[in-house]
Every structure is written in structure tokens, then in C-alpha cells.
Amino acid sequence: MPVGDVDTPALLLDLDAFDRNLRKMAEVSRRTGVRVRPHTKTHKCPVIAMKQIELGAVGQCCQKVGEAEILVAGGVRNVLVSNEVVGDRKLLRLAALARDAEIGLCVDAPEQVEAAGRAAREFGVELAALVEIDVGMTRCGVAPGEPAVALAKQIAATRGLRFGGLQAYHGTAQHLPTWGEREAAIAIAVEKTRATVAALAAAGLACPIVGGAGTGTFQFESTSGVYNELQVGSYVFMDTDYARIGGKTSNRYDEFDHSLFVLATVMSRPTADRAVVDAGLKSYSMEKGVPWVHGLDDVEVTGVSDEHGRLRVGAGAKPLKLGDKVWLIPGHCDPTVNLHDWYVGVRNGRVEALWPIAARGCSH
Amino acid sequence: MPVGDVDTPALLLDLDAFDRNLRKMAEVSRRTGVRVRPHTKTHKCPVIAMKQIELGAVGQCCQKVGEAEILVAGGVRNVLVSNEVVGDRKLLRLAALARDAEIGLCVDAPEQVEAAGRAAREFGVELAALVEIDVGMTRCGVAPGEPAVALAKQIAATRGLRFGGLQAYHGTAQHLPTWGEREAAIAIAVEKTRATVAALAAAGLACPIVGGAGTGTFQFESTSGVYNELQVGSYVFMDTDYARIGGKTSNRYDEFDHSLFVLATVMSRPTADRAVVDAGLKSYSMEKGVPWVHGLDDVEVTGVSDEHGRLRVGAGAKPLKLGDKVWLIPGHCDPTVNLHDWYVGVRNGRVEALWPIAARGCSH
């Protein structure tokens, strides 16, 4: 089917750009010797997970037990929930997965170590428990250094658990506007992590995983000599939020190609300077701003409602008529993907693949 | 099951508040003699649609053919797509529904009148075609007056279609900050609509439906003497975006009660003044700002990421520990609902109903 025949709104994946992004990150891993553990929260799709693993990724990380369930059912055999898991029901679901796959989770409180151990023993499995340390994002995590060592010791002494290492992700650094600001933020994170790894070593505890990094900062973690796993997600798709930050040598971060688009149809042409498309904030996430129009000169999104996108059509624009298709680049890829049930994979103007977004809505 | 046992994130519906909201709008309809045609784009749930109809609503309106399909399958027999429908495939799907229900749609271009007529004739059905006029929101729609009359005449002359009236919705008026501003905006919309109805009458065309209004302005359309159908949606749930606008006599719009909540669990307590919950922007829409914390003094959401909400816990707050549940009021109800598969209906602290959000994701 030609792309022009795809009914809208649809989530398109440009397979050439997508393949380039996947290979580029695999090459980073080969060059630096640092493992890649891509983040499922971005793509929510076991098909994509398996492609990443085929290119050398060690497994996947994810934020929720529901995502881990989809991954294991889809054939992934090494899953880290890079997040705290609270509640016995969720912990038991996670422990059940450890019968079929290597499963890890993060902890930042003593009672959570106990609860995870109980769940693992219930299923006769072993879970890798990583201590999350706060390296600068002030979200979850214990302080680096001694508090982390205390929790690691508790893990090592808990039946059903093994100490899995450190979760040291600096989320707020990912979108700092300039390369230099991101480098400086991660330099601080690296020192906190290095000191914690050393304190753990002094206590006789080695870190199988020292994980963190995202698409905005992996260049720094991957060459830090401390981190050994990169939890990159958005690099497979890109979005305007990442495109807007500065690169190493340019004002725009263009390490990766835009591969993700929302395909929309012009549904109204009320005036010469206004067109309305049939995709709104139920087809792309809006908290990072309106989407960019791809490949059309002098056309931009000026307003969005539930099911409409309003376009300003400038004097320099080509004619745009009812039924014409418009490619939109979402502001934020992860929550945009979570609104759709399928990727429509396209190459050379034709539909080549339909991949289910199997973990869509799996926030539980 | 007690509400406290519901796993999170979950979309809760306070059934008492919900029932009060439904009855209040039904009473507006009885008092003014203006029909209510509630908007499915808010709730996406045939169970709720049927409850509205049971209380006197004439049917439902919706934005997309996919929503109309779910409504008709769920038993609704009168559906207006309050929106343009572009593309033969979509028009044929809509015409197919007219074998089982009364179906209307909106048009704002001559070629769309032709396309809708062709689709209707293909199925041997009749579609009601309403002319959308732009009464102030500058989205879709032709200008009021003669352009609307020209399109209405074309509809009346098209086999397979009947002229259904006017779609005269003023979306941008709904959230104007003060009662007076909303009243003034709708006064202008009413005059444009009144003049168009008169011009149509002069051409021998009566308007079975003169539709518009939303939760923020229905008080004005319902007493205008021109509008005969209210397309209210958000009144069933409310959200912070509506709560923030001014009421008639107060700074807060409190005509309706908050009935919709995202239930979240405290998953990390890193510091005395910070708690993190397990629901982020994949559980509630964020383009209208962070959710409000319900029923907890001196606790507020200060940051949100994909699967986390960061709370500031003030000195005046009650203790908040790992596993505690927090009720969040979403910023914008419609796109929040679209992230979930089920309503968990609760009353007196217990789960009483599970209603599927059957039209979740039906933007096609």
C-alpha cells in the first residue's frame, strides 16, 4: 500500500531512518565497550526490542511491571525495571516473570528490599535489586555514598535478591539546552556514581550494572569509565523536544534522524491562510509544544485541540487541499507512542510493516 | 473491593458526583426546553452515553467515525459527528452506520457535500448534513450568513443527504477566564447564528438542529432562543482547566463536581518534603498543567515525567508513606480518559462498577 493510502491519524515509522538510528547506537556500544539496554518506555513494542537486541543490546529496561510482562511474553530474556516497584501484587507479578527471564528492579528504601525479597522467595526465584541513587534529578533514589552502601548490604543479605548494582539516571540533564550544560551535569553525576561504586567496593560489593544515560547525554556516560549500561530510549525516534537542544557543534541536536511521524489529513480549508488537519492532542502528546510540520515550506501548526490541528499556511506554501496528507513530528515521542496501537512502518513510500504497540497503556 | 485495594494508576469515577452532574444537566434541558446531546469525545464510553440518554439526552455527538461506530455498537440510535469527515473510506464507514441509527455529520465545503451524498447513496441511506459555521473560534466552518445558505441549498439538492441544520460551536469561548467574557463571546456567536438561521428561513430551509455550547458556556446558548441542542461534554467529570475559570458569582467555576480522578500510589519517599507517585503523563494529560492533589492539605504536584509525579509535601501535611494512595484531579479530562481502558466506578469507598472506555484511541 502506498503511504498516501494510509487512513489517518496514523503513527508512521520511517524504517530507513529508524534502522540508521538503531545501528548508530549499536556502534556507540561497540566503540566504547559499554552495554546498551534500550528503554521500552519509548517504543512499548517487543518487535523493536528484539531488533535492538539483535544488534547487540543486552536486553531492555522499562518503567513498569506491565511493560516487563509484555517484553517477556514477546521473547526478551533480560529485563530491568529501572524504577521502584511498590505493592505486593506488583512485586509478585514481577517475580513470576523471573521464572522465564532475568529480571531486575530498583529500590530506594529498606522496606522495599524486604518486600521484593518476600515476593522472590514466594516464586523461588532470584531478582536483581539495584540501588537507585539520586545523581542530580531529585526524583527517586537515595543519596550517593553511604546510604547506597547500607541498602546494598541489606540486599546482599536478603534471600531471593542479589545486589544488581546502581541505577544512576540523571533525567533532568537530558534536555538541558546546550551540550556544555549537559556535559557539566553528567560530570557531577559521574563523580557521585564513581564515589558510590568505590564505597561499595570497599564494602566488598561489586556492581554488575552501573546504569543510566539517555539520548541527550549518553556521550558522557559512555566515556565516563564508570557507567557500564546506557538506558537510551528516544534515539530510535527523536522528537522536537530533543531536536531543539544544542548539539556538540550545532544549535540543533541532530545525532539521530526523525523516524516517527503522525500522519494527518487536511479536513478543512476555511481560508487561504488556514488549514485544519484531523490529528490533535489525542494523536500526539502536547506537553512539549505543538508538533512540527515535516517537509512543507511555510506551513506550521498554530493551534491544537482534541482532534484538530490548525495550520497557518503561508504565502510561500504549496497549495494544500482537502484530503492532502501532512507529516507531523511530535513534541515528545514516548507519550505520543502511548496513544497509538500500531506502528505503520514505511519505506520508499510504501507500507512495509505493521508492528503492534503491545505495551500501550501498560502503566500498571 | 475497597478503593484502597485498587491497583494503580487507575482512572476512578466518583459515582455520586457523576450522578449529580448528569442530573444537573438533565434539569437544564427540562428547564430551558433545549435538547442535550452530550459529547462522546469526553467519556468515550457507551455505558455513560446510555445513562445520559436515559436521563433525556437526545443522543450523542462525537468527533470521529471510530467513536460513532462504538456508540452505535453500544446501542446509541442518534449520533451526530460534530465535525467534518474527509475521505471516502471514512464516509462509507459512517454511511454504513446509518442502516442502524440516525447519523449526522458536518460539512464546510461543497466537495464534501458531494462526497457525503455519494457515500450515503452507496448504502441506500440518508445522512443529515449540518453546515458548520465559524462563530468565533477560527477553526473549521464557513462564514455565517450567505456562505452557509449556499452550502445548505447544495445539501438539500443532494440525494442521500438532508439538511440537518447548523453546527455553531464556539470552542475557544469555553475557557475564557471570566463569566462576563464568556457571555460576551457567546452573545456574538448567538447573533451570527440567529442571522444565519433567518437567512436560511428566508431561503425556505428550516434547521432541525442548531447545535453548539460546551460546559463553559451552555448557560448562554441554552437561553439564547436560537440554539436548540447543547453539545456539552466535560460536565460529567470536570477538570482543573474548567475549575480554574470564573463562575457567575465566584472566582471558581463550580457548577459541577469533580468526579474523575487518577488514583496513584506513593512509590518513593526520598526526603521529608518530597514524595513520588507512580502516575505521570502516561496516566493524565499534561498540556493544561499538572494535576491537583485531592483531599490532602499542603501537598502539591511540582513535577511530572512519563511515569512519575513528584509531590511537594509541606510542613502542614499528614504523614505520607510508601504505598499510600493519592487522588489526582487531571488538568484536562478528555485526553486523560483517552489514556485508560477502564473506569473504576466507586461509591462509599468501594468499587461498584467497571466500565470499558470502548472508544479509547478511536481517532480514526
Of B269, B307, B338, the CB nearest to A282: B338
| Domain identity same for A208 and A321 | no
Does A108 contact B at CB distance below 8 Å?
yes
Which chain B residues in 149-188 lie under 8 Å from chain A, judged by CB atoms?
Answer: 171
DSSP string, B142-183: BPTTHHHHHHHHHHHTSTTEEEEEEE---GGGTT-SSHHHHH
The confidence score (pLDDT) of residue A283 equals: 98
Quote the minimal CA–CA distance from A31 to chain B in Å.
30
The confidence score (pLDDT) of residue A261 equals: 98
Does B116 contact A at CB distance below 8 Å?
no
Does A310 contact B at CB distance below 8 Å?
yes
The confidence score (pLDDT) of residue A114 equals: 98
The confidence score (pLDDT) of residue B237 equals: 98
Q: Are B217 and B164 in contact (CB under 8 A)?
A: no
Q: Which residues of A touch B7 (CB under 8 A)?
A: 87, 89-90, 364
Of B140, B286, B322, the CB nearest to A276: B140
B50 inside domain: yes
A24 inside domain: no
| Domain identity same for B116 and B225 | yes
| Domain identity same for B325 and B284 | yes
- The residue behind cell 513498569 is A64
A86/B278 Cβ within 8 A: yes
A307/B364 Cβ within 8 A: no
Quote the minimal CA–CA distance from A44 to chain B in Å.
12
| Domain identity same for A212 and A264 | no
The span from the CA of A195 to the CA of A224, in Å, is 13
Q: ipTM of this complex > 0.90? A: yes
Nearest 10 degrees: Cα torsion B22, B27, B32, B38: 10
**φ/ψ bin of A188: left (φ > 0), alpha (ψ from -120 to 50), beta (otherwise):** alpha
Q: Which residues of A touch B142 (CB under 8 A)?
A: 270
The confidence score (pLDDT) of residue B316 equals: 96
| Domain identity same for A189 and A337 | no
In which residue ranges of chain B is pLDDT below 70?
none
Residue type, position A251, single letter: N
Quote the minimal CA–CA distance from B7 to chain A in Å.
7
| Domain identity same for B208 and B276 | no
Of B63, B109, B270, the CB nearest to A306: B63
B298 inside domain: yes
Q: What is the CATH number of the domain that holds B327?
A: 2.40.37.20
For residue A44, count other CB atoms closer than 10 A to its CB. 26
Which chain A residues in 7-26 lie under 8 Å from chain B, judged by CB atoms?
Answer: 7-10
Q: Which residues of A touch B8 (CB under 8 A)?
A: 87, 364
pTM, full prediction: 0.97
B287/A286 Cβ within 8 A: yes
Residue of B nearest to A42 (CA): B306
| Domain identity same for A339 and A280 | yes
Range of the domain at A209: 34-236
A249 inside domain: no
| Domain identity same for B215 and B326 | no
> Which of A236, A271, A286 is the endpoint of a domain?
A236
The confidence score (pLDDT) of residue A141 equals: 98
Does B267 contact A at CB distance below 8 Å?
yes
B22 inside domain: no
Of B63, B268, B283, the CB nearest to A140: B268
Per-residue pLDDT in tens (0 to 9) along chain A, 364 residues: 999 999 999 999 999 999 999 999 999 999 999 999 999 999 999 999 999 999 999 999 999 999 999 999 999 999 999 999 999 999 999 999 999 999 999 999 999 999 999 999 999 999 999 999 999 999 999 999 999 999 999 999 999 999 999 999 999 999 999 999 999 999 999 999 999 999 999 999 999 999 999 999 999 999 999 999 999 999 999 999 999 999 999 999 999 999 999 999 999 999 999 999 999 999 999 999 999 999 999 999 999 999 999 999 999 999 999 999 999 999 999 999 999 999 999 999 999 999 999 999 999 9
| Domain identity same for B331 and B215 | no
Question: Residue B249 forms beta bridges with which residues?
Answer: none
Q: Are A291 and B290 in contact (CB under 8 A)?
A: no
Burial class (CB within 10 angstroms; exposed 0-12, middle 13-18, buried 19+) of A187:
exposed
Give SS3 for B122: helix
Of B270, B276, B363, the CB nearest to A283: B363
A244 inside domain: no
| Domain identity same for B214 and B288 | no
Does A307 contact B at CB distance below 8 Å?
yes
| Domain identity same for A198 and A271 | no
Nearest 10 degrees: Cα torsion B240, B246, B250, B255: -60
Q: What is the CATH number of the domain that holds B170?
A: 3.20.20.10
Total structural domains within chain B: 2
| Domain identity same for B229 and B318 | no
B339 inside domain: yes
The confidence score (pLDDT) of residue A194 equals: 98
Residue of B nearest to A143 (CA): B270
B305/A171 Cβ within 8 A: yes
Cα separation values, A96 from A49, A50, A110, A114, Å: 21, 21, 22, 17
Does B288 contact A at CB distance below 8 Å?
no
B274/A87 Cβ within 8 A: no
B303/A41 Cβ within 8 A: no
B280 inside domain: yes
B154: cell is 447544495
